[in-house]
Amino acid sequence: MAIQYRSVGTSTNNGAFVTTLTITKPSGVVANDTLVAVVSIRNTRTISSVPSGFTQRAQGGFGTSNSSDQTIVYTKLATGSEPASYDFVVSGGSTPAAGFMLRYSGVDTTTPVEASGGTTTASLTAPSITTLTNNAVVLAIGSQNNNGGNGGVASDFTAPGDQTERADYGLNTQINHAVFEKLYATAGATGTVTLTSNLTGNSSAVHVALKPAPDIVNVNPVASAGADQTVYSKTTVVLDASASLDAEDTSGAADSSRVLTYAWTQISGPSSPTIKNANIQKAQVYITTTGTYVFQVTVTDSGTATHTDTVTITVNARPSVEGVAVWNGSRWQNSNSSIHNGSSWGSASPGGYVYPSAYTTGVPAGTTLSTYNGNLTTSYNGQVIENLNVKGYIEVQHTDVMIRFCRVENYIRSNGNSPIIEDCTVAPPDSQWFDVDGQPTGNGIALDFGIGYSDFTARRVNIYGFGDAFKAAGNATIEDCYIHDLYAYLKGDGVSTNHCDGIQLVMGDNVTIRGNYIDPRSWYYTGAHTNNGTSCVIIKADDGAISNVTVENNLLQGAGSYTVYAHPVGANTLTNIVIQNNRFMRNIWSLGSQYGVFQYSQSAQAQITWTSNLWDDTGATIPLGTVQPTNRTAD
């Protein structure tokens, strides 16, 4: 490591008579800097006490008479908290003195001085010394005592042309001194260095060789892309490089504040899914196509050294599943068909689309969960929350959070931080929802959302027991979820109950609702189950404009009002509302829901795309704009 001169401090007495020589601290001192103190004194005096941490390294000159001159050099390894000045105590009485404090970086902290020498007679010629290390920096220091005999003329020291002057003190007629510096690229004898002065008087000179700190050899980091994974399609894979190591990394952090940086790329695979936040330790990639994928992480340390590792992700097709849950008059149960194909209500085929059920959503069977007592707030960006039974709610306060394979017994709030929620059950505690015989009590959570509000992705979530299952206020994807058994709780007035919606939008942009089975029929706080419940999806711009909403490929159970709503409110408009390829059930109400499948405002019709929406029992197309089963209202 190269030695660098940084700054210098000087004594405060201007060379006058003192018994304590005070030298100011150089500017900018940091831990592990080397401080070089140069003290010059006249007469037969000596330095009897030095500040803590200083070690004498060299001395030149002699102290045999009033006209004698001495130069003494000390060094100290700076700490992180140095005083503003340093006191050197003179013994034997007051005498003229002067001092410098030079600050250097890059000096060996164990052996800062590897060679030194000083004059033993009155001379400004620093003796030759032998450096032991290449690129040592040698200080040539000269001092002169003119004993007041030069008529008040300031000193002016000079040195050979290959020397660099770092300090020169000549503002008085007593003690004058200077420090010069030279880099010796090759170890060996320095030869003598003669300084000159425009004054006369006894003098002294010192040579001090500062040893450079050893070059730091940056050890390459060790990248780890994690263990190979086998997953089902339509899964968000966490690419985990948290096991990567670096010898120089002592931060101990578990998140993206580590010294290492990361870059994830795809090497191969049958498709090219987007890697979300490819420059963090735990990146995410959502894969829908089956096959074998290879991803690579490049880990770079603060010294720009890199290392790579790969991980193989095998994506298999999802297995055959049981059918959707149906109400048999006393409790929910799963139908016997391997997939829902209309067999419960007719023979029409939904084109092979597998609708969600208790078998395809929520925490996968056989998953072991650890109990997390109380509410959970995220701790860092990119956190993965998995395999937990959270006995409370989750507040997402950081970006890029993944929540998977969890049973959450209260709400999940995204706070606009774009979490991904997959394969979770979000519902009241079983002890609250079911009786001792395993029958539902309908005792839900008196809360108007289970997951909300904006900027989140939810896939394969089994959610029930809330007033509304989802609040989606923009930048939200709700996909392949099983939404059912909503809870009509008693409001604060003690009289009215909430309106139960599977998914509610009151403002926002960019919402996708795809492939869900939504059954908004609700339980009343009294414990009675009814065929009521307001809607599967309500798009009503109460709090702001709503735009770019897609509702597609869903299986929608009829409700107590309309299955789907779409309304602007005042100046809050609807823009680009797409409702397509959904199947509407009418096993309870002949109109789908009690009043029809779709109510919308006439003024918004131009912004609504309604196409390929079918009756689930017959496969017949449901047109838009008829009085029944769709209905439009005047604004």
Domains of the chain (ranges plus CATH)?
4-210 (no CATH), 229-316 (2.60.40.10), 319-360 (no CATH)
Close Cβ partners of 398 (under 8 Å, ≥ 6 residues apart):
378, 379, 380, 381, 382, 383, 417
Q: Which residue has the higher pLDDT, 32 or 628?
A: 32
Q: What is the dihedral of CA 573, 579, 584, 590, to 10 degrees?
A: 50
Q: Quick one: pLDDT at residue 253?
A: 46
| Eight-state DSSP code of residue 604 | G
In this predicted model, what pLDDT tens digit does every residue of 185-230 receive, in sequence order? 999 999 999 999 887 778 899 999 999 999 877 888 999 999 999 9
Q: Quick one: pLDDT at residue 595?
A: 93
Q: Quick one: pLDDT at residue 350?
A: 42
Tally of CB atoms within 10 A around 322: 16
In this predicted model, what pLDDT tens digit does every residue of 270-302 receive, in sequence order? 999 999 999 999 999 999 999 999 999 999 988
Q: Quick one: pLDDT at residue 559?
A: 85
- C-alpha 210/C-alpha 136 separation (Å) is 6
| Eight-state DSSP code of residue 107 | B
Tally of CB atoms within 10 A around 386: 17
For the ranges 30-39, 144-153, 388-397, 567-576, the lowest mean pLDDT is seen at 144-153
The mean pLDDT value for 71-81 works out to 96
Close Cβ partners of 504 (under 8 Å, ≥ 6 residues apart):
449, 468, 470, 471, 472, 537, 538, 540
Please indicate, yes or no, whether the overall pTM of this predicted structure exceeds 0.75. Answer: no
| Eight-state DSSP code of residue 128 | P
The mean pLDDT value for 594-605 works out to 93
Computed over every residue of the chain, the mean pLDDT equals 88
Cross-strand pairs, 611:
580
Q: Which residue has the higher pLDDT, 140 or 523?
A: 140
Task: Tokens for 501, please give them.
Answer: 């919606």
- C-alpha 584/C-alpha 610 separation (Å) is 13
Cα 305 → chain centroid: 21
Q: Quick one: pLDDT at residue 99?
A: 93
| Eight-state DSSP code of residue 320 | P
Q: Residue 432: enclosing H or E segment and its boundaries?
A: helix 430-433
- C-alpha 583/C-alpha 421 separation (Å) is 25
Q: Quick one: pLDDT at residue 560?
A: 87
Q: Angle CA(326)–CA(329)–CA(335) in degrees, nearest 5?
A: 25
Q: What is the dihedral of CA 243, 249, 254, 255, to 10 degrees?
A: -100
Q: CA–CA distance from 440 to each of 364, 437, 521, 524 (Å)?
A: 21, 9, 14, 12
Would you place residue 113 in the very low, low, confident or very high pLDDT band (cuts 50, 70, 90)? very high
Q: Quick one: pLDDT at residue 544?
A: 97
Q: Which residue has the higher pLDDT, 337 or 321?
A: 321
Would you place residue 135 in the very low, low, confident or very high pLDDT band (cuts 50, 70, 90)? very high
- C-alpha 57/C-alpha 561 separation (Å) is 93
Three-state SS at 630: strand
